[in-house]
Structure 1
């Protein structure tokens, strides 16, 4: 049903945290595959991907991952982001009823006051991105990274929470 794409650069511990939040969804069949795109020089991401049953891409970046994904819907996540309980139901409902991309709601723990948000650097993937493969393909062809695919999209907010990845 869902292919998860994670682009990582020398942040293996963060990758492991994200993968651990996907285990129950993989067991239940919501997550069909996880593709790890390593854009850094580390071998540790390859080891983690192998040990957890993920597909590993050392070359081609996000464009290759989108092209290789087997599912009609893709979930792009930052390494270190963790999906909270109940996210699978929200994703299943969205996939069945909507066609537009969606993002998760930020966990209460991670919400910043509105004034602080004005001056905080923005990351397009901070809340994850759920998108149809047919929509992601043209966006990924000329994108330098997953962040570029997610930037500037009109999205719906999912009623499921994500713990955001802390910047390295």
Structure 2
């Protein structure tokens, strides 16, 4: 039903955090597979992905990759991002009733101060992106990465919250 795709580079702890949240979605039958795209990690990212049953690629073509995705919907997230309680039911209902992309709501518990929110540029995957695989396949071009694929959408906002990946990065410092 849902294929999760993440890109990483030396983000072993962040990858483990995100994968641990996705386990419940796999148990409920929502998450059918997880794909981890690696940009030359020198840490244990490949071991974490392998232990979690993910497909791990160090070289890929996005068009071919999307063709092998098992789910009819894609969830693009950053390693370190964590979906909060209730996401499984909401996403299952959303994909059953909609055809438009969606993003998660920013976690109220982990919001940046207003000034920092206004003055910094947001990464396109900070709040994740849920989109139909067919739509992604029509947009994908050679050499494209997940951030390129995430740009240019006017997604709906889900009520389920996501704890952004910057929280995990700052905790590691």
Is residue 51 of structure 2 the alignment partner of residue 37 of structure 1? no
Match of 1:163 in 2: 163
Question: 1:56: Cα distance to partner?
Answer: 1.1
Distance 1:47 1:109, change over 3 A: same
* Cα RMSD (Å): 1.7
Paired residues for 1:104-123 under 5 Å? 104-123=104-123
Q: Does the C-alpha gap of structure 1 residues 99 and 143 become closer, same or farther in structure 2, counting only changes over 3 Å? A: farther
Q: Normalised by the size of structure 1, how large is the TM-score?
A: 0.92
Contact 1:7/1:62, CA 8 A, preserved across alignment: no
Runs (4+) of structure 1 exceeding 6 A deviation are none
* Number of residue-to-residue matches in the alignment: 168
With 142-151 and 88-97 compared, the bigger mean Cα shift is at 142-151
In the alignment, structure 2 segments of 5+ residues that lack a partner are none
Cα distance in 1 between the residues matched to 2:133 and 2:151: 16
For 1:147, the equivalent position in structure 2 comes to 147
Deviation at 1:97, TM superposition (A): 1.2
Alpha-carbon displacement from aligned partner over 1:85-140 (angstroms, at most 9, x marks no partner) = 10011101111111100000011122234443221121000000000001111323
